[in-house]
Amino acid sequence: MKIGVFDSGIGGLNVLKELINQYPKLEYLYYGDTFYLPYGEKSKEELIKLGVRIIRFFEENHVDRIVIACGTCSSLVDEYQKYTKIPIDNVIDPTVEYVKKYYQKVALLATPATIKNGIFERKLKQEGIEVYPLSCPSFVPYLEGLSEQLDIEKELKSLQNNEYEAAVLGCTHYPLLKEEIERILLVPTIDMGKVLSETIELKESNASLTVYMSKVTPLLEQNVNKILEKDIPLIEKNLPV
C-alpha cells in the first residue's frame, strides 16, 4: 500500500514519523512544499490551488491513500476530496474525536489561516468542547529557518492562566516546540500526528520512503535527518501551479 503524505515543509515529517512507527511496512511518498511555505498565511483559494497540484502528483505516482499532514490544509479536506477519488485523511478530525474523549476545555494553537478559517474550532465546539484559540504566526517561519528569532513566551502570553486542560498543537510543525510550549502553558499538548497514527487503519505491504521537497537547502536536509533520525536523500521537485 502506497501512502502520499504532504505538508508545506518539515512539520508533516512529524506525522510521517508517527505513521512509520505505527506502520513500518508501507510505501511512503512525502511531498514538502517548501518553496511556497508558510501555508498558514495563504488564502483559501491559494491553498486549494497548491494542494490540488500535489494531489495530481500523488495520482501520477499511484498512491492508494493521501494523508494531509498539515493543520491548515486539513481544514480544507472536503474541498480537496472533490478533485480526486483517492481517499484523503486529515489530522483535524481524529484530533477532535480524541479531545472529545478526554477533555472539556482546550487551547488551540494554530496558524493564522487555520484560526481564520475556524473549522477546527467549530468542530471542537460542536462536540461541546470549550476552546481558547490562538494564532501563532511566528512559529512556522522560525522552525523553517525563515526567521532567526522567536519569543515563544510573548506569543503564548494571552493563553497563560486560562482554565484549559490541554493545548492542541493545531499545526504539525508545533510538536518541534512541544517542550517549550508545555513548560510555558503548564498543560499537556496534543500531537495531531500521533493521534492520527494511532487511529488510522492501513494495510502493510512493502517498506519504502521517498521524500520530495519543492525547494531543498542544506538547513532543510539537516532538519529532515534530525526529525526522521536517519539520512534521507531529498529530491527537489517544484510542481507547476
160 pLDDT more than 90:
no
What is the DSSP code string of 97-130?
HHHHHH-SEEEEEE-HHHHHH-HHHHHHHHTT-E
84 pLDDT more than 90:
yes
174 pLDDT more than 90:
yes
Active-site hit among 115, 124, 171, 187: 171
- pLDDT, average across residues 71-100: 97
pLDDT of residue 63: 98
- pLDDT, average across residues 8-12: 96
Our answer to whether residue 70 is catalytic in this structure is: yes
In terms of Cα–Cα distance, which of 146, 200, 144, 199 is closest to 32? Answer: 144
162 pLDDT more than 90:
no
Is 2-90+195-236 in CATH node 2.40.50.140? Answer: no
218 pLDDT more than 90:
yes
pLDDT of residue 185: 96
Q: Rounded to whole angstroms, how far apart are CA atoms 236 and 241? A: 16
- pLDDT, average across residues 65-93: 97
Our answer to whether residue 136 is catalytic in this structure is: no
Looking at the structure, give the CATH architecture of the domain made up of residues 92-192.
3-Layer(aba) Sandwich (3.40)
In terms of Cα–Cα distance, which of 181, 190, 183 is closest to 105? Answer: 190
- What percent of the chain is modeled with pLDDT above 70? 100
Active-site hit among 47, 50, 55, 70: 70
- The pTM of this model reads 0.93
pLDDT of residue 148: 86
Residue range(s) in the chain whose domain bears CATH number 3.40.50.1860: 2-90+195-236, 92-192
Specify the DSSP element, H or E, that contains 88: strand 88-90
pLDDT-derived band at 44 (thresholds 50, 70, 90) equals very high
